[in-house]
Structure 1
Amino acid sequence: MQSPLLLALETSTTVCSVALFKGEQLMGTSELRIEKSHSSHITVMMEQLVNNCGFKIEDVNAIAVSGGPGSYTGLRIGTSTAKGLCYALEIPLIEVSTLYSLAEQVINYTANPERYLFCPMLDARRMEVYTCVLNHKLEEATPIAPVVLNEETFQDLLYKREIIFFGSGADKFKELVANNQNALFVGEVVPSAVPVGRLALKKYELEAFEDVAYYEPFYLKDVYITSAGMSTK
Protein backbone atom coordinates (compact mmCIF):
# COMPACT_ATOMS: atom_id res chain seq x y z
CA MET A 1 0.00 0.00 0.00
CA GLN A 2 1.37 3.37 -1.01
CA SER A 3 2.11 5.83 1.79
CA PRO A 4 -0.51 8.59 1.93
CA LEU A 5 0.36 12.23 1.34
CA LEU A 6 -1.20 14.09 4.25
CA LEU A 7 -1.44 17.86 4.71
CA ALA A 8 -1.88 19.08 8.29
CA LEU A 9 -3.15 22.50 9.40
CA GLU A 10 -2.83 24.21 12.80
CA THR A 11 -4.68 27.52 13.26
CA SER A 12 -6.22 27.20 16.73
CA THR A 13 -4.08 29.96 18.28
CA THR A 14 -1.92 32.82 17.00
CA VAL A 15 0.35 30.22 15.36
CA CYS A 16 -0.40 29.51 11.71
CA SER A 17 1.32 26.24 10.82
CA VAL A 18 1.17 23.70 7.98
CA ALA A 19 3.02 20.39 7.58
CA LEU A 20 3.24 17.81 4.80
CA PHE A 21 3.79 14.09 5.46
CA LYS A 22 4.46 11.23 3.07
CA GLY A 23 3.49 8.37 5.30
CA GLU A 24 5.44 8.85 8.52
CA GLN A 25 8.10 10.97 6.82
CA LEU A 26 7.83 14.69 7.44
CA MET A 27 8.43 16.28 4.04
CA GLY A 28 8.32 19.88 5.20
CA THR A 29 6.66 22.43 7.43
CA SER A 30 5.96 26.16 7.38
CA GLU A 31 4.96 28.36 10.30
CA LEU A 32 4.10 31.96 11.14
CA ARG A 33 3.68 33.40 14.63
CA ILE A 34 2.04 36.65 13.61
CA GLU A 35 -1.25 37.91 15.04
CA LYS A 36 -4.20 37.54 12.65
CA SER A 37 -2.07 35.98 9.90
CA HIS A 38 -4.23 32.94 9.25
CA SER A 39 -6.75 34.16 6.68
CA SER A 40 -4.21 35.98 4.52
CA HIS A 41 -1.38 33.44 4.65
CA ILE A 42 -2.58 29.87 5.11
CA THR A 43 -3.55 29.19 1.48
CA VAL A 44 -0.25 30.55 0.19
CA MET A 45 1.68 28.60 2.83
CA MET A 46 -0.04 25.35 1.86
CA GLU A 47 0.53 25.79 -1.87
CA GLN A 48 4.17 26.79 -1.46
CA LEU A 49 4.90 23.91 0.91
CA VAL A 50 3.33 21.28 -1.33
CA ASN A 51 5.09 22.66 -4.42
CA ASN A 52 8.45 23.02 -2.66
CA CYS A 53 8.25 19.37 -1.64
CA GLY A 54 7.80 18.33 -5.26
CA PHE A 55 4.05 17.66 -5.26
CA LYS A 56 0.83 19.24 -6.50
CA ILE A 57 -2.13 19.95 -4.25
CA GLU A 58 -4.06 17.32 -6.24
CA ASP A 59 -1.61 14.69 -4.94
CA VAL A 60 -2.76 15.13 -1.33
CA ASN A 61 -4.68 12.11 0.01
CA ALA A 62 -6.09 13.59 3.24
CA ILE A 63 -6.32 16.85 5.19
CA ALA A 64 -5.77 16.98 8.95
CA VAL A 65 -6.91 19.95 11.01
CA SER A 66 -6.37 20.97 14.61
CA GLY A 67 -9.91 20.87 15.93
CA GLY A 68 -9.68 22.87 19.13
CA PRO A 69 -10.21 24.06 21.71
CA GLY A 70 -8.76 27.44 20.84
CA SER A 71 -9.50 30.74 19.15
CA TYR A 72 -12.94 30.88 17.53
CA THR A 73 -11.65 32.80 14.53
CA GLY A 74 -8.56 30.65 14.10
CA LEU A 75 -10.54 27.43 14.31
CA ARG A 76 -13.08 28.69 11.79
CA ILE A 77 -10.35 29.59 9.30
CA GLY A 78 -8.61 26.25 9.65
CA THR A 79 -11.87 24.33 9.41
CA SER A 80 -13.20 26.18 6.38
CA THR A 81 -9.85 25.83 4.59
CA ALA A 82 -9.64 22.10 5.33
CA LYS A 83 -13.25 21.41 4.38
CA GLY A 84 -12.89 23.37 1.15
CA LEU A 85 -9.89 21.29 0.12
CA CYS A 86 -11.61 18.05 1.07
CA TYR A 87 -14.66 18.95 -1.01
CA ALA A 88 -12.58 20.04 -3.99
CA LEU A 89 -10.23 17.05 -3.95
CA GLU A 90 -12.79 14.51 -2.69
CA ILE A 91 -10.47 13.36 0.09
CA PRO A 92 -11.07 12.62 3.78
CA LEU A 93 -10.91 15.10 6.66
CA ILE A 94 -9.19 14.14 9.92
CA GLU A 95 -9.59 16.05 13.18
CA VAL A 96 -6.93 16.12 15.91
CA SER A 97 -7.39 17.68 19.34
CA THR A 98 -5.26 20.79 19.84
CA LEU A 99 -4.49 19.72 23.41
CA TYR A 100 -3.55 16.20 22.36
CA SER A 101 -1.18 17.52 19.71
CA LEU A 102 0.45 19.82 22.28
CA ALA A 103 0.94 16.84 24.59
CA GLU A 104 2.34 14.74 21.75
CA GLN A 105 5.20 17.22 21.38
CA VAL A 106 6.21 16.98 25.02
CA ILE A 107 5.74 13.21 25.30
CA ASN A 108 8.05 12.64 22.31
CA TYR A 109 10.89 14.53 24.00
CA THR A 110 10.40 13.20 27.54
CA ALA A 111 12.59 10.39 28.80
CA ASN A 112 10.57 7.58 30.40
CA PRO A 113 7.25 9.33 29.68
CA GLU A 114 5.31 6.58 31.44
CA ARG A 115 6.50 8.09 34.74
CA TYR A 116 4.49 11.27 34.23
CA LEU A 117 1.12 12.73 33.50
CA PHE A 118 0.94 15.54 30.94
CA CYS A 119 -1.19 18.66 31.22
CA PRO A 120 -1.45 20.97 28.19
CA MET A 121 -2.96 24.37 28.98
CA LEU A 122 -4.26 26.95 26.52
CA ASP A 123 -4.81 30.44 27.89
CA ALA A 124 -8.51 31.37 28.02
CA ARG A 125 -7.99 34.81 29.66
CA ARG A 126 -7.85 35.81 33.31
CA MET A 127 -7.20 32.68 35.40
CA GLU A 128 -9.03 30.32 33.06
CA VAL A 129 -7.44 27.73 30.76
CA TYR A 130 -8.59 25.02 28.38
CA THR A 131 -6.93 21.88 29.63
CA CYS A 132 -6.96 18.15 30.34
CA VAL A 133 -4.59 15.64 31.92
CA LEU A 134 -3.22 12.79 29.81
CA ASN A 135 -0.93 9.83 30.27
CA HIS A 136 1.88 8.98 27.86
CA LYS A 137 -0.58 7.07 25.64
CA LEU A 138 -2.83 10.16 25.36
CA GLU A 139 -5.45 8.54 27.56
CA GLU A 140 -7.40 11.05 29.65
CA ALA A 141 -6.96 11.20 33.41
CA THR A 142 -9.23 14.25 33.35
CA PRO A 143 -11.36 15.27 30.35
CA ILE A 144 -10.93 18.40 28.25
CA ALA A 145 -12.66 21.30 29.99
CA PRO A 146 -12.39 25.02 30.77
CA VAL A 147 -10.80 25.29 34.22
CA VAL A 148 -10.44 28.34 36.49
CA LEU A 149 -7.06 27.87 38.13
CA ASN A 150 -6.52 28.09 41.90
CA GLU A 151 -4.30 26.48 44.51
CA GLU A 152 -6.49 23.36 44.63
CA THR A 153 -6.50 22.65 40.89
CA PHE A 154 -5.29 19.07 40.16
CA GLN A 155 -4.13 18.63 43.76
CA ASP A 156 -5.55 15.11 43.94
CA LEU A 157 -3.44 14.06 40.96
CA LEU A 158 -0.37 16.03 42.04
CA TYR A 159 -0.44 14.20 45.37
CA LYS A 160 0.07 10.89 43.52
CA ARG A 161 2.08 11.66 40.37
CA GLU A 162 4.48 14.09 38.79
CA ILE A 163 2.65 16.17 36.19
CA ILE A 164 4.31 18.13 33.39
CA PHE A 165 2.49 21.39 32.60
CA PHE A 166 3.00 23.34 29.37
CA GLY A 167 1.29 25.61 26.86
CA SER A 168 0.22 29.26 26.82
CA GLY A 169 -1.77 28.96 30.07
CA ALA A 170 0.81 27.10 32.16
CA ASP A 171 2.67 30.16 33.46
CA LYS A 172 -0.44 31.29 35.34
CA PHE A 173 -0.52 27.99 37.19
CA LYS A 174 3.18 27.91 37.99
CA GLU A 175 2.90 30.54 40.71
CA LEU A 176 0.01 28.69 42.37
CA VAL A 177 1.93 25.40 42.77
CA ALA A 178 5.45 26.78 43.23
CA ASN A 179 5.99 24.68 46.37
CA ASN A 180 4.75 21.39 44.93
CA GLN A 181 7.66 19.22 43.80
CA ASN A 182 5.39 17.08 41.63
CA ALA A 183 4.46 20.06 39.43
CA LEU A 184 6.94 20.33 36.55
CA PHE A 185 6.87 22.96 33.82
CA VAL A 186 8.14 23.05 30.24
CA GLY A 187 8.28 26.39 28.42
CA GLU A 188 7.96 27.37 24.76
CA VAL A 189 5.54 24.63 23.74
CA VAL A 190 3.24 26.06 21.07
CA PRO A 191 0.73 24.42 18.72
CA SER A 192 2.25 23.02 15.55
CA ALA A 193 0.96 21.20 12.47
CA VAL A 194 3.70 18.58 12.85
CA PRO A 195 2.17 16.67 15.82
CA VAL A 196 -1.26 17.22 14.25
CA GLY A 197 0.00 15.33 11.22
CA ARG A 198 1.62 12.56 13.27
CA LEU A 199 -1.57 11.89 15.21
CA ALA A 200 -3.69 12.18 12.06
CA LEU A 201 -1.69 9.45 10.34
CA LYS A 202 -2.81 7.00 13.02
CA LYS A 203 -6.43 7.99 12.39
CA TYR A 204 -5.89 7.66 8.64
CA GLU A 205 -4.84 4.05 9.08
CA LEU A 206 -8.03 3.41 11.07
CA GLU A 207 -10.13 5.38 8.56
CA ALA A 208 -11.32 7.55 11.45
CA PHE A 209 -12.57 10.35 9.22
CA GLU A 210 -14.91 13.26 9.87
CA ASP A 211 -18.11 13.96 7.97
CA VAL A 212 -16.99 16.89 5.84
CA ALA A 213 -20.51 18.26 5.49
CA TYR A 214 -21.28 18.38 9.22
CA TYR A 215 -17.90 18.70 10.91
CA GLU A 216 -17.48 21.61 13.32
CA PRO A 217 -14.42 22.36 15.48
CA PHE A 218 -14.49 21.85 19.25
CA TYR A 219 -14.97 25.37 20.59
CA LEU A 220 -15.49 24.07 24.15
CA LYS A 221 -17.49 27.20 25.00
CA ASP A 222 -20.66 28.45 23.37
CA VAL A 223 -20.24 31.29 20.91
CA TYR A 224 -22.38 34.40 21.10
CA ILE A 225 -22.63 37.66 19.17
CA THR A 226 -22.26 41.06 20.82
CA SER A 227 -22.48 44.56 19.38
CA ALA A 228 -18.68 44.59 19.42
CA GLY A 229 -18.44 41.43 17.31
CA MET A 230 -17.80 37.73 17.86
CA SER A 231 -16.92 36.43 21.30
CA THR A 232 -17.05 33.26 23.38
CA LYS A 233 -18.38 32.42 26.80
Structure 2
Amino acid sequence: MGYLIIIGTDDSIFGLAVETSGRTGSVALACGGRTIAEAEFPHGLQHAAGIVRIIDELCRGSGWRPESIRHVYVSAGPGSFTGLRIGITLAKMMALATGARIVAVPTMRVLVENAPAEARHVVIVLDAKRDQIYTARFERTVSGWEQREPTQVEALRDVLARAPRPVHLIGEGIPQHAHFIPEGDRQIAVTDQSCWRARAQVVAAVGWRMACAGEFADPWTLAPVYVRPPEAEERLARAAGGNPTKPG
Protein backbone atom coordinates (compact mmCIF):
# COMPACT_ATOMS: atom_id res chain seq x y z
CA MET A 1 0.00 0.00 0.00
CA GLY A 2 1.49 3.33 -1.08
CA TYR A 3 0.96 6.75 0.44
CA LEU A 4 1.03 10.17 -1.19
CA ILE A 5 1.61 13.08 1.16
CA ILE A 6 1.07 16.62 -0.10
CA ILE A 7 2.51 19.44 2.00
CA GLY A 8 0.14 22.24 2.93
CA THR A 9 -3.54 21.93 3.72
CA ASP A 10 -6.69 23.95 3.56
CA ASP A 11 -8.44 24.20 6.94
CA SER A 12 -11.73 23.63 5.20
CA ILE A 13 -14.13 20.68 5.26
CA PHE A 14 -12.52 17.29 5.78
CA GLY A 15 -13.35 14.89 2.99
CA LEU A 16 -12.82 11.25 2.05
CA ALA A 17 -12.50 10.25 -1.61
CA VAL A 18 -13.16 6.68 -2.76
CA GLU A 19 -12.21 5.28 -6.18
CA THR A 20 -13.11 1.64 -6.87
CA SER A 21 -14.23 1.72 -10.51
CA GLY A 22 -11.05 0.32 -12.09
CA ARG A 23 -8.36 -2.31 -11.76
CA THR A 24 -6.62 -0.49 -8.91
CA GLY A 25 -8.60 1.15 -6.13
CA SER A 26 -7.62 4.09 -3.96
CA VAL A 27 -8.85 6.26 -1.13
CA ALA A 28 -7.73 9.75 -0.17
CA LEU A 29 -8.16 12.24 2.64
CA ALA A 30 -8.63 15.81 1.49
CA CYS A 31 -9.27 19.32 2.80
CA GLY A 32 -11.13 21.58 0.44
CA GLY A 33 -10.49 19.12 -2.39
CA ARG A 34 -6.75 19.13 -1.82
CA THR A 35 -5.32 15.69 -1.06
CA ILE A 36 -3.52 15.19 2.23
CA ALA A 37 -2.88 11.44 2.03
CA GLU A 38 -3.74 8.66 -0.41
CA ALA A 39 -3.52 4.88 -0.35
CA GLU A 40 -3.92 2.39 -3.20
CA PHE A 41 -5.13 -1.21 -3.04
CA PRO A 42 -5.67 -4.01 -5.57
CA HIS A 43 -8.98 -4.55 -7.34
CA GLY A 44 -9.19 -7.93 -5.63
CA LEU A 45 -10.24 -6.26 -2.36
CA GLN A 46 -13.84 -7.45 -2.41
CA HIS A 47 -15.38 -6.01 0.75
CA ALA A 48 -16.01 -2.49 2.05
CA ALA A 49 -14.74 -3.60 5.48
CA GLY A 50 -11.25 -4.11 4.05
CA ILE A 51 -11.21 -0.55 2.71
CA VAL A 52 -12.42 0.78 6.06
CA ARG A 53 -9.26 -0.61 7.64
CA ILE A 54 -7.16 1.30 5.08
CA ILE A 55 -9.09 4.49 5.80
CA ASP A 56 -8.51 4.02 9.54
CA GLU A 57 -4.75 3.74 8.88
CA LEU A 58 -4.78 6.91 6.77
CA CYS A 59 -6.72 8.78 9.45
CA ARG A 60 -4.32 7.71 12.20
CA GLY A 61 -1.30 8.64 10.08
CA SER A 62 -2.80 12.07 9.34
CA GLY A 63 -4.05 12.78 12.85
CA TRP A 64 -7.68 12.68 11.75
CA ARG A 65 -10.66 11.05 13.44
CA PRO A 66 -13.06 9.28 11.05
CA GLU A 67 -15.99 11.11 12.60
CA SER A 68 -14.42 14.43 11.52
CA ILE A 69 -15.02 13.56 7.85
CA ARG A 70 -17.91 15.70 6.58
CA HIS A 71 -17.88 14.86 2.86
CA VAL A 72 -17.51 11.53 1.06
CA TYR A 73 -16.63 11.81 -2.63
CA VAL A 74 -17.25 8.48 -4.34
CA SER A 75 -16.49 7.52 -7.94
CA ALA A 76 -19.97 6.46 -9.10
CA GLY A 77 -19.26 4.81 -12.44
CA PRO A 78 -19.36 3.44 -14.98
CA GLY A 79 -16.70 0.82 -14.36
CA SER A 80 -16.27 -2.48 -12.55
CA PHE A 81 -19.68 -3.64 -11.31
CA THR A 82 -18.24 -5.22 -8.16
CA GLY A 83 -15.92 -2.30 -7.47
CA LEU A 84 -18.69 0.27 -7.86
CA ARG A 85 -20.98 -1.61 -5.49
CA ILE A 86 -18.21 -1.72 -2.88
CA GLY A 87 -17.47 2.01 -3.23
CA ILE A 88 -21.11 3.05 -3.03
CA THR A 89 -21.70 0.76 -0.04
CA LEU A 90 -18.71 2.29 1.74
CA ALA A 91 -19.96 5.83 1.05
CA LYS A 92 -23.38 4.95 2.47
CA MET A 93 -21.79 3.35 5.55
CA MET A 94 -19.79 6.52 6.22
CA ALA A 95 -22.81 8.76 5.70
CA LEU A 96 -25.02 6.76 8.02
CA ALA A 97 -22.32 6.33 10.68
CA THR A 98 -20.96 9.88 10.76
CA GLY A 99 -23.55 12.09 9.08
CA ALA A 100 -21.13 12.92 6.25
CA ARG A 101 -22.67 14.14 3.00
CA ILE A 102 -22.08 12.15 -0.19
CA VAL A 103 -21.03 13.47 -3.58
CA ALA A 104 -21.45 10.92 -6.39
CA VAL A 105 -18.67 11.81 -8.83
CA PRO A 106 -19.09 10.55 -12.42
CA THR A 107 -16.04 8.43 -13.23
CA MET A 108 -15.86 9.95 -16.72
CA ARG A 109 -15.36 13.40 -15.17
CA VAL A 110 -12.51 11.99 -13.10
CA LEU A 111 -10.75 10.36 -16.06
CA VAL A 112 -10.87 13.40 -18.33
CA GLU A 113 -8.86 15.34 -15.73
CA ASN A 114 -5.92 13.06 -16.64
CA ALA A 115 -5.74 14.51 -20.15
CA PRO A 116 -2.43 16.09 -21.19
CA ALA A 117 -2.25 19.85 -21.44
CA GLU A 118 -2.34 19.86 -25.25
CA ALA A 119 -5.59 17.85 -25.45
CA ARG A 120 -8.73 19.68 -26.54
CA HIS A 121 -11.05 16.79 -27.47
CA VAL A 122 -11.07 13.62 -25.34
CA VAL A 123 -12.86 10.29 -25.71
CA ILE A 124 -13.01 8.00 -22.68
CA VAL A 125 -12.51 4.27 -23.44
CA LEU A 126 -13.59 1.71 -20.81
CA ASP A 127 -14.13 -1.91 -21.80
CA ALA A 128 -17.80 -2.98 -21.80
CA LYS A 129 -17.08 -6.35 -23.49
CA ARG A 130 -18.59 -7.67 -26.73
CA ASP A 131 -16.58 -5.10 -28.77
CA GLN A 132 -18.24 -2.20 -26.96
CA ILE A 133 -16.99 0.51 -24.62
CA TYR A 134 -18.35 2.77 -21.92
CA THR A 135 -17.58 6.15 -23.37
CA ALA A 136 -18.15 9.88 -23.20
CA ARG A 137 -16.67 12.74 -25.20
CA PHE A 138 -15.33 15.96 -23.67
CA GLU A 139 -14.07 19.28 -24.97
CA ARG A 140 -11.74 21.64 -23.13
CA THR A 141 -13.18 25.16 -22.88
CA VAL A 142 -12.12 28.34 -21.11
CA SER A 143 -14.22 27.26 -18.12
CA GLY A 144 -12.90 23.69 -18.02
CA TRP A 145 -14.00 20.35 -19.44
CA GLU A 146 -17.47 20.22 -21.00
CA GLN A 147 -19.13 16.86 -21.74
CA ARG A 148 -20.26 16.93 -25.38
CA GLU A 149 -21.77 13.45 -25.58
CA PRO A 150 -23.54 11.54 -22.79
CA THR A 151 -22.03 8.53 -21.11
CA GLN A 152 -23.12 5.51 -23.16
CA VAL A 153 -22.22 2.06 -24.48
CA GLU A 154 -21.00 2.03 -28.07
CA ALA A 155 -18.30 0.68 -30.38
CA LEU A 156 -15.09 2.73 -30.42
CA ARG A 157 -15.08 2.84 -34.22
CA ASP A 158 -18.48 4.60 -34.19
CA VAL A 159 -17.35 7.11 -31.57
CA LEU A 160 -14.20 7.92 -33.54
CA ALA A 161 -16.15 8.27 -36.78
CA ARG A 162 -17.84 11.45 -35.48
CA ALA A 163 -15.28 12.74 -32.96
CA PRO A 164 -13.60 16.08 -33.79
CA ARG A 165 -9.89 15.99 -34.55
CA PRO A 166 -7.37 15.92 -33.05
CA VAL A 167 -8.74 13.65 -30.34
CA HIS A 168 -7.05 12.03 -27.34
CA LEU A 169 -8.09 8.63 -25.99
CA ILE A 170 -8.05 7.88 -22.24
CA GLY A 171 -9.05 4.75 -20.35
CA GLU A 172 -8.19 1.22 -19.32
CA GLY A 173 -10.20 -0.20 -22.23
CA ILE A 174 -7.75 1.01 -24.86
CA PRO A 175 -5.75 -2.26 -25.16
CA GLN A 176 -8.88 -4.36 -25.74
CA HIS A 177 -10.17 -1.98 -28.44
CA ALA A 178 -6.94 -0.82 -30.06
CA HIS A 179 -7.82 -2.73 -33.25
CA PHE A 180 -10.60 -0.18 -33.86
CA ILE A 181 -8.10 2.71 -33.95
CA PRO A 182 -7.15 3.46 -37.60
CA GLU A 183 -3.46 2.87 -38.20
CA GLY A 184 -1.47 5.91 -39.25
CA ASP A 185 -4.12 8.45 -38.22
CA ARG A 186 -2.02 11.07 -36.49
CA GLN A 187 -5.12 12.98 -35.46
CA ILE A 188 -5.96 10.20 -32.96
CA ALA A 189 -3.62 10.25 -29.96
CA VAL A 190 -3.48 7.37 -27.50
CA THR A 191 -2.46 8.90 -24.18
CA ASP A 192 0.24 7.46 -21.96
CA GLN A 193 -0.86 4.53 -19.80
CA SER A 194 -0.36 6.66 -16.69
CA CYS A 195 -3.47 8.63 -17.78
CA TRP A 196 -5.77 5.63 -18.09
CA ARG A 197 -7.01 5.04 -14.56
CA ALA A 198 -9.04 7.08 -12.12
CA ARG A 199 -7.44 8.09 -8.81
CA ALA A 200 -8.94 9.09 -5.49
CA GLN A 201 -7.03 12.38 -5.38
CA VAL A 202 -8.82 13.46 -8.59
CA VAL A 203 -12.16 12.19 -7.24
CA ALA A 204 -11.52 14.51 -4.27
CA ALA A 205 -10.80 17.52 -6.48
CA VAL A 206 -13.84 17.01 -8.74
CA GLY A 207 -16.02 16.06 -5.77
CA TRP A 208 -15.09 19.25 -3.91
CA ARG A 209 -16.13 21.37 -6.91
CA MET A 210 -19.44 19.50 -7.07
CA ALA A 211 -19.96 19.96 -3.33
CA CYS A 212 -19.38 23.71 -3.67
CA ALA A 213 -22.13 23.69 -6.31
CA GLY A 214 -24.44 21.86 -3.92
CA GLU A 215 -24.42 18.59 -5.88
CA PHE A 216 -24.95 16.14 -3.03
CA ALA A 217 -26.49 12.67 -3.32
CA ASP A 218 -29.23 11.08 -1.23
CA PRO A 219 -27.63 8.12 0.58
CA TRP A 220 -30.94 6.23 0.56
CA THR A 221 -31.36 6.31 -3.22
CA LEU A 222 -27.73 6.46 -4.35
CA ALA A 223 -26.80 3.71 -6.81
CA PRO A 224 -23.82 3.10 -9.13
CA VAL A 225 -23.92 4.39 -12.70
CA TYR A 226 -23.84 1.13 -14.63
CA VAL A 227 -25.04 2.51 -18.02
CA ARG A 228 -26.20 -1.03 -18.71
CA PRO A 229 -26.93 -3.85 -16.25
CA PRO A 230 -24.37 -6.52 -15.28
CA GLU A 231 -24.09 -9.43 -17.73
CA ALA A 232 -25.89 -11.83 -15.36
CA GLU A 233 -28.86 -9.47 -15.18
CA GLU A 234 -28.87 -9.15 -18.98
CA ARG A 235 -29.10 -12.93 -19.31
CA LEU A 236 -32.01 -13.04 -16.88
CA ALA A 237 -33.78 -10.24 -18.76
CA ARG A 238 -33.38 -12.05 -22.08
CA ALA A 239 -34.69 -15.28 -20.53
CA ALA A 240 -37.71 -13.37 -19.22
CA GLY A 241 -38.29 -11.70 -22.58
CA GLY A 242 -37.35 -8.25 -21.33
CA ASN A 243 -34.98 -5.55 -22.59
CA PRO A 244 -31.43 -6.61 -21.64
CA THR A 245 -29.94 -3.18 -22.33
CA LYS A 246 -32.15 -1.25 -19.92
CA PRO A 247 -30.81 -1.09 -16.34
CA GLY A 248 -33.34 -2.17 -13.73
What SS does the aligned partner of 1:196 have?
helix
Aligned to 2:183: 178
Equivalent position amino acid for 2:189 in 1? L
1:74 aligned onto 2:83: yes
Q: TM-score, normalised by structure 1?
A: 0.86
Tell me, in whole angstroms, the C-alpha distance in 1 between the residues paired with 2:108 and 2:117: 20
Query: Aligned partners of 2:213 and 2:84: how far apart in 1?
Result: 24
Supply the distance in 2 between the matched residues of 1:24 and 1:17 (Cα, whole angstroms): 15
1:31 and 1:38, CA in 2 relative to 1: closer, same or farther beyond 3 A? farther
1:157 aligns with 2:166: no
Q: Which residue, 123, 129, 140 being the options, matches 2:127?
A: 123
> Which residue matches 2:117?
111
Match of 1:217 among 217, 224, 234: 224
1:64 aligned to which of 73, 87, 103: 73
SS in 2 for 1:214: coil
Equivalent residue for 2:201?
A: 194
Unaligned runs of 5+ residues in structure 1 are: none
Partner-residue secondary structure (3-state), 2:129 = coil
The Cα offsets for residues 97-153 of structure 1, whole Å up to 9 and x where unpaired, read as 1111011122xxx2344xx21112111124211011111223122211011233x43
Aligned to 1:36: 44
User: What's the % identity of the aligned pairs?
Assistant: 25
How many residue pairs were aligned?
Answer: 220
Give the Cα separation in 1 of the matches to 2:235 and 2:32: 44
CA change 1:24–1:216 in 2 (3 A) is closer
Letter in 2 for 1:207: G
Given that 2:15 and 2:70 are in contact with CA atoms closer than 8 Å, whether structure 1 keeps it comes out as yes
Give the Å deviation of 1:173.
3.9
- Aligned partner of 2:211 in structure 1 is 204
AA matched with 1:196: V
Partner amino acid for 1:157?
Answer: A
Q: Are the aligned partners of 1:174 and 1:185 in contact in 2 as well (CA < 8 Å)?
A: no
> For 1:45 and 1:195, how far apart are their aligned partners in 2?
18
Give the letter for the 2:155 counterpart. Answer: V
Say which SS state the counterpart of residue 74 (structure 1) adopts. Answer: helix
Unpaired segments ≥5 residues, structure 2: 1-9, 237-243
Kindly provide the CA deviation profile for residues 179-217 of structure 1, in whole angstroms up to 9, marking residues without a partner as x.
222100113221211111100010121221001111111
The answer to whether the 8 A contact 1:99-1:121 is kept is no
Q: Give 1:2 deviation, angstroms.
A: 5.0
Q: CA deviation at 1:31?
A: 0.4
Q: Taking structure 2 as the reference length, what is the TM-score of the superposition?
A: 0.82
